[in-house]
Each structure stands twice: as C-alpha cells, then as structure tokens.
Amino acid sequence: MENTLTQQIQIRQYLPLYTVILLGFLGYALTITLFIPMLMDTNFLLLPADASTSMRLSLSGLLLAMYPLGQFFGSPIIGNLSDHYGRKKVLILSLIACSFGFLGMALSIQFHLLNFLFVSSFLTGLFESNMAISQSVIADRVQDSALKNKLIGYGYSACSLGYIIGPLLAGSTFSYNTPFFIVALSVPLLIIWIYQSFDEHSSVPNKIEKIKFTKSLLSIKSVFQNSKLRRIYLINFLIFFSVQGLYRVVPLYIEDTWTISLHTFSLLISFVSFMCFIANLLILEKLASRYPTKVLLSGLLFFSGLSILLIVLPKDFNWIWLTYGIVAIPTVMALPTCTTWLSEHVLAKEQGQALGNNQALLVFGEASSAALGGMVAAIMVPLPIIMTACILLVTGVLVRSSKAD
C-alpha cells in the first residue's frame, strides 16, 4: 500500500513533464493535419491560385520535413545543454523558444508568408526536445528500473494523446492558423507551472566539462562504424523511413483523390492515431509475449507491406477509414519492435549510444521520407504509397534472413 502511494506521488510530480510532452506532440500533430490541406487549398493564398498540383504536393512534403529536420539537429544540442546547465533551465528556455515558434507559424499562415512558415517550422523543431529532457529527468531521479520503465511509458502515452487531440483541435476551429495561436498561448501557462512546481534536485549540472556540439552531432557516425549492428541499423532506418513516410504521403493521396472537409480529414487523422494508441497499448504486449522479437518483426513487416496496398484500391472515400485503420496497426507496432530488436543485440553499457543513434535515424527517416514522398507524389500520387509497401516487404525479407536472432 505504501509502495503504491509513493508511486502515485511520484507520478503526480511528473505531471508537468507529461503535459510538456502532450503539448509538444499536439503542436506537431497540427502540422501534419493542417499543412497538407492548407497547401492543397486553391482558395487559400499561401500559394498562387494557379500553382500546379505537383508543386503543391512537392512543397507539402518539404514543409512537413522541416519540423523533424529541426529535431534531428536540435535534440543532441539541447540534450548537451541540459547536461551542462541543468534540466529545468534548459527546458524552460526551450519552451519559450517553442512558444515563439508556434506563434511564428500562426502569423506566417495569417499573412500568407510561406518562406517564414518554413523557417518557423524548422526553428520550432530545433528547440523542441521535450521527450529527451523529460526522459533524462526520470533517469536522474528514479533508480527502480520497473518504475522507471512505467514512468517513461507514460511519456509515450502522452505522445499518443497529443497525436489524437491535435487533429481534433485542428478540425474544430474555423481557420488554419487558430490552432497554432492556441498552442503558442498555452505554452506560457505551462512554463509557469514548470517554474513553480518543478525542482531540480537530482541532476547536477556539469559545468566543468566543455560543451562539444560537434561531438553530439557527429555521434551518429558510429552507426556506420559498428559492423555488428550495421545491418540492424539499416533495417531500422528502412522501417522508420517507410512507416513515418506512410503517415505523410497517405494524407497527400487522400487530399488529391477526394474532396473532403477539413473537419472530416482531421477526424480521420485522429482516428488513425487512436488505432496506433490501441495497437501499442493492448495488442503489442500480447504478441511480444508469444513470439520472438525477430519473428514478430518480420511478420509485422510482411503484413504491413501487403495491407498498405489496400489503401490505393478503393474508389469510395469511406473505405479509407477501414484500410488506413488496418494499416496503422502493424506499422505502428513495427517501430517499438525494431527498437527492441536492436536493444537485444547491444551490451548494457552500449544501450545509450545505440538507442540514441536509433532515435536519430527515426527523426532523419521521418524528415527525408516526408520530403521525398512529396516529390514522388508530384510524379504520380499513389506511387510513394506503393513504394512504401515494397520497401517494407523487402525489409521483412532482410529481417527473416538475418543471422541475428
């Protein structure tokens, strides 16, 4: 009883951090939900009214790539700063920068400034490292591994809720820029909560060792140097590239193929996010307990590749709710499964480096697939979806034939 009470108190202590994660991913979900309909809307003058569909598709992909690209460069730097100056101080400064970033997005949309929207999206991603700092705080304070996993797991649940609530917020407002104003104005309230309720007593800032930003950025090179893990890193990158890209190119396909309202589009994105939440929360644990990681991963990839092809078959929009919902289940479960597969092949002392590299590959895969997906869609809209299915099927073969068990 006392143990349970202690855990409940600890969980309440981390509520500000979970809210930070929720708000950060909610804001990111807004970009996924709103940028594509906004650029494809010929009545909204962010682009000239006579801009071609291929240009709109290409720019949509590039714009979606800005936020994760900023994260790719910013996360190791922000993490380094938090080690040097302390978690709380860097987290608050990061949130202030994010608030201005979301405000910049809102103003860019209001005044139809596409170039400024690209810049503000990149800068918001650059300063948004909420998940990394929050995980570091938990690692600093919690010694019990079971409780640590539980608390970090709540962080991922907050991510999922952000992806569900963000599209609902996007679809319930009357303009493209209003949701970004709401997030920008909510962040200062969160900063006050963090400042008043969050004490930094466990992590000791390391001001003796000099900050080496290049070392943080170049640590990814170990991906290519470790011959034992190189194949697994390649497989994981292909999975990240394909799955994250899929969630960017399917909305492009939907917007180009059918004429639907922003409200309906937002509900669809929220529904798919909910399916992802259920899959990881209820289904993955049962499958992981029955099958070895390698067998489970290859099975998920084969099922993902085949089910993705169903998306381009229906002529009626209503079928997308079924096909996209089915696709979400195996694809989203492949992400933590491939990470677990990597972790099983790494010594305890190498876990931090390996999983850090893996996270960098995920963000880079997300950014590059969004940019390339938009360009390929400009040639033929269904083509990136078909390519994603093929890559996942080939990756499934690579996993099955791998000597790593």
- Taking only the tens place, the pLDDT of each residue in 222-246 is 677 777 889 999 999 999 999 999 9
Check pLDDT > 60 for residue 208. no
The lowest-confidence range among 32-46, 113-127, 219-233, 277-291 is 219-233
**Residue 215 in domain:** no
Check pLDDT > 60 for residue 140. yes
The lowest-confidence range among 79-83, 86-90, 219-223, 255-259 is 219-223
**Residue 218 in domain:** no
pLDDT of residue 74: 82
CA 404 to chain centre: 27
Indicate whether 270 and 145 sit together in one domain.
Answer: no
Q: What are phi and psi of 118, to 5 degrees?
A: -60, -50
Indicate whether 85 and 159 sit together in one domain.
Answer: yes
Token pair in block for residue 379: 């040639």
Q: Which of 149, 165, 199 is the last residue of a domain?
A: 199
Q: What are phi and psi of 42, to 5 degrees?
A: -70, -15
**Residue 361 in domain:** yes
pLDDT of residue 84: 77
pLDDT of residue 108: 98
Average pLDDT, the chain: 87
**Residue 206 in domain:** no
Q: Measuring CA to CA, which residue among 239, 274, 269, 271 is closest to residue 254?
A: 269
2 — pLDDT class (breaks 50, 70, 90): very low
Domain ranges, residue 242: 224-404
Indicate whether 379 and 243 sit together in one domain.
Answer: yes
Q: How far is CA 401 from CA 137, 248, 382, 393, 398, in A?
A: 39, 29, 29, 13, 5
Q: What mean pLDDT comes out for the span 285-300?
A: 93
Q: What CATH number corresponds to the domain at position 121?
A: 1.20.1250.20
Q: Which of 63-77, 362-376, 381-395 is the most confident on average?
A: 381-395
Indicate whether 261 and 121 sit together in one domain.
Answer: no
Token pair in block for residue 125: 């991603």
Indicate whether 162 and 17 sit together in one domain.
Answer: yes
Q: Fill in the DSSP letter of residue 312.
A: G
Indicate whether 393 and 254 sit together in one domain.
Answer: yes
